[in-house]
Amino acid sequence: MITIIKKIKVYGPAFKGIQDILLIGGKIAFIGSDISADFQNGIEINTMDGEGKIALPGFIDSHVHMLGGGGEGGYKTRTPEIMLSDLTCAGITTAVGCLGTDGVTRNMMSLLAKANGLDEEGITTFIYTGSYQIPVKTLTGGIIEDLLAIDKIIGVGEIALSDHRSSQPSYDEFVRTAADVRVGGMLSGKAGVLDIHLGDGERGIEYVFRAIEETEIPITQFLPTHINRNPHLFEQGLNFARKGGYIDFTGSEDPQFSEQAGEVSFGKGVKRLLEEGISNETFTLSSDAQGSLPVFNENNEYIGLGVGSAKCLWTEICHAVLTDQIPLEIAIKGVTANPAKILKLQGKGRLEKGYDADLCIINEATMEIDTVFAKGQLMVKQKEPMVLGTFEKR
């Protein structure tokens, strides 16, 4: 299949103007003006009118509970595994899978199998080895060995800190885990990222600050997530980003409600970063899709459950652009160029010649995801999008 998208606004993530995009063999073959192709040997050419639409790189979701999560309220509170359409309909063409609180009934072999299955269905997947707990439960018996032996494993996570559900590791245990993932990443040519789940505890990312001060492990080896869980934790995250670290926001399907609940929305968080002169390459946005969103009372007793949704990524980006006046080309970096760089995902996160043909096409008038391509394959084509609003390039 050869696809030509005509006269579409291209954000790669920087705005490139109105261009044509040529997709061949799962790659972006060319971006330019007046592209045409005429074959006489029966090769199929799909031409798409891009007028009134915006082309973005396919979204990269760096934190997905592919097998589901939950269980903190007993067996009936286990959440279901994710399906391909949950991701593609949300514009996601690359997903990184992880385990959470439950690393027993959900294990690494099952996670690897699920990731391979999603790959076979058309998207790109990677996984972290481990779960909330330290020592890390790996596939091969060691963190370094997992990174060397298994292509899909790009780091360790999500290790829980400052949370009553964590294994309460000692500082030495935490640093040893970070050291192993660092070396495993170096030897395998991968990112070797330590993805860190942060709870509501007062310590926040204390272990991480201590590690970068007392050891030689680079700050870029750590990726603390849920950094916008509360204002206290977000302030720690800002300090971490000032020092050159990366921080990951967790999206919400209702940013206004999350703000009322005491969280810091993605848009307001990015606005603070920009106001303080912190690089716009230091943040990512992930969904925590299919992860449980348990609600606990002041005694840490379970009282209710929600489920993370992949759709929150585009919802948060729209809210950031429309409400917080974040330029679109900056907001989308959180799900495109930034995670691709931080996680060393070659050929991902940009609309450029030679990159994978992962595209998320937006109907500009309705702010809805219209079409999604993953490695050049048409995954989603919406028919009657709901009208939400409009925005202009800023």
The DSSP string of 100-152 is -S--SSS-HHHHHHHHHHHHHHT-EEEEEE--S-SS---SSSSHHHHHHH-TT
Matching residue, tokens 């891009």: 50
Asked whether the beta carbons of 372 and 360 are under 8 A apart, the reply is yes
Residue 125 Rama label (left phi>0; alpha psi -120 to 50; beta): beta
Asked whether the beta carbons of 375 and 122 are under 8 A apart, the reply is yes
d(Cα 126, Cα 199) in Å, to the nearest integer?
A: 24
The DSSP string of 283-336 is EEEE--BT-EEEEE-TTS-EEEEEE--TTHHHHHHHHHHHTS---HHHHGGGGT
Q: Report the length, in residues, of the chain.
A: 394
Residues 6+ apart with CB under 8 A from 220: 244, 245, 246, 342
Helix (H, G, I), strand (E, B) or coil at 214: helix
C-alpha closest to that of 93 among 28, 16, 17:
28
Active site residue 288: yes
d(Cα 106, Cα 67) in Å, to the nearest integer?
A: 7
d(Cα 19, Cα 55) in Å, to the nearest integer?
A: 10
Q: Provide the 8-state DSSP code for 168.
A: -
Helix (H, G, I), strand (E, B) or coil at 46: strand
Residues 6+ apart with CB under 8 A from 260: none
Catalytic hit among 146, 180, 288, 370: 288
Which positions are catalytic? 288
